[in-house]
Amino acid sequence: MRDFAYARAGTAEAAVETLAGRQTAVIAGGTELLNWFRLGIAAADRVVDIGGLDELRGIARDGDELRIGALATLNEVGEHPLVTRLAGALASACLQAASAQVRNRATIGGNVLQRTRCPYFRAEEPLPWPCNKRDPGSGCASLAGRHERQAIFGWTQDCVAVQPSDPAVALAALDARADVLGPAGPRTIPMREFHLTQREAAAAGEPMRETRLGADELITGYRLPVSTAGQAYVKVRERASYEYAIVSAAADVRLAEGAGGPRAAGAGEQRIAAARVALGSVAQRPWRLTAAEAELPGTPLTREALLPVIERAMADAVPLPQNGFKVTMARNAAVRALLAAGGAA
Asked if 174 contacts 166 with a C-beta cutoff of 8 angstroms, the reply is: no
Count other C-beta atoms under 10 Å from residue 337's C-beta: 32
End-to-end Cα distance, the chain: 49
The pLDDT value recorded for residue 268 is 66
Name the pairing type of β-strands 287-288 and 5-8: unpaired
Total residues belonging to the chain = 345
Cα–Cα dist 232/209, whole Å: 30
Count other C-beta atoms under 10 Å from residue 185's C-beta: 9
In a 10 Å sphere around its CB, with 0-12 CB exposed, 13-18 middle and 19+ buried, how is residue 334 labelled?
buried
Question: How would you write the pLDDT of the chain (345 residues) with one tens digit per residue?
Answer: 789 999 999 999 999 999 987 799 999 999 999 999 999 999 999 999 999 999 999 999 999 999 999 999 999 999 999 999 999 999 999 999 999 999 999 999 999 999 999 999 999 999 999 999 999 999 999 999 999 999 999 999 999 999 999 999 999 999 999 999 999 999 999 999 999 999 999 999 999 999 999 999 999 999 999 999 999 999 999 999 899 999 999 999 999 986 554 443 335 689 999 999 999 999 999 999 999 999 999 999 999 999 999 999 999 999 999 999 999 999 999 999 999 999 997
Q: What angle do CA 332, 336, 341 make, to 5 degrees?
A: 150
In 3D, which of 57, 91, 97, 235 has the Cα closest to residue 174?
91
In 3D, which of 182, 179, 263, 264 has the Cα closest to residue 222?
179
Name the pairing type of β-strands 185-190 and 218-225: unpaired
Q: Which residues, in sequence order, are bridge partners of residue 235?
A: 248
Cα–Cα dist 70/58, whole Å: 9
pTM of the predicted model as reported, rounded to 2 decimal places = 0.96
In eight-state DSSP terms, residue 150 is S
In 3D, which of 86, 96, 88, 51 has the Cα closest to residue 69?
51
85 — phi, psi (to 5°)?
-85, -35
pLDDT in tens, 2-33: 899 999 999 999 999 999 877 999 999 999 99
Q: Which domains does the chain have, with CATH numbers?
A: 54-114+163-225 (3.30.465.10), 230-341 (3.30.390.50)
In 3D, which of 272, 300, 182, 278 has the Cα closest to residue 234?
278
